[in-house]
Amino acid sequence: MKIIPCKWKHHAALAELGASTFYETFRPHNSEEDMQAYLANTYTPALVQGNLKKSGVHYFLGYDELGDQGYIKLIENPVGIKLEGKIMELEKIYVRTSAQGSGLAKLLMEQAAMHSKQLSFNYIYLGVWQENARALAFYKKLGFEIFDTRKFLLGSRSCDDYLLSLKLT
């Protein structure tokens, strides 16, 4: 397994991977209409291209011998977060269902922590749907702690998130 930092040329792969993994994760819990509306506003190649150009946004792709299997998106200095210090948001961590449990997600998280530390950030922060038991178990296993909650709107559906943080030492 290999992790690489993303460049502009990866926008199409990231858009496909982002849409596929989001769909796999949330379609069982949401209407097709809400899913399509969210995908159209979040995971198009053009939108990913725009994000890749922004300063303070970092993407990494994870590969195995079958191809791209997961990715992370980091955003520097999110606003309004109740933590002291420099904060890096892990806005996305998504691994294809077929690669879950393989250790790739842990490698992606280690990359997130290493990259954030290199840039002198004190915390990684993320939001996760309260009913996403697998993701919560994964984050807790790696030392993340819940520090707050928030609402997240997916189309017509309001979801409750936990906010978690990991102190970088």
Residues of this chain that bind ligand COA (CB under 6 A): 21, 25, 93-95, 100-101, 105-106, 128, 132-135, 137-138, 141
Residue of minimal Cβ distance to ligand COA? 105
Pairing of strands 123-129, 157-167: antiparallel
Q: Residue 86 Cβ, how far from ligand COA at the closest point, in Å?
A: 21
Q: Residue 22 Cβ, how far from ligand COA at the closest point, in Å?
A: 8
Number of H helices, E strands in the chain: 5, 7
Q: Give whichever of 74 and 128 is closer to ligand COA, judged by the CB atom.
A: 128
Q: Give whichever of 53 and 133 is closer to ligand COA, judged by the CB atom.
A: 133
3-class DSSP string for the chain: CEEEECCHHHHHHHHHHHHHHHHHHHHHHCCHHHHHHHHHHHCCHHHHHHHHHCCCEEEEEEEECCEEEEEEEEEECCCCCCCCCCEEEEEEEEECHHHCCCCHHHHHHHHHHHHHHHCCCCEEEEEEECCCHHHHHHHHHCCCEEEEEEEEEECCEEEEEEEEEEECC
Q: Residue 135 Cβ, how far from ligand COA at the closest point, in Å?
A: 4
Q: Residue 159 Cβ, how far from ligand COA at the closest point, in Å?
A: 11
Q: Give whichever of 103 and 120 is closer to ligand COA, judged by the CB atom.
A: 103
Q: Residue 155 Cβ, how far from ligand COA at the closest point, in Å?
A: 17
Q: Give whichever of 43 and 94 is closer to ligand COA, judged by the CB atom.
A: 94
Q: Give whichever of 43 and 138 is closer to ligand COA, judged by the CB atom.
A: 138
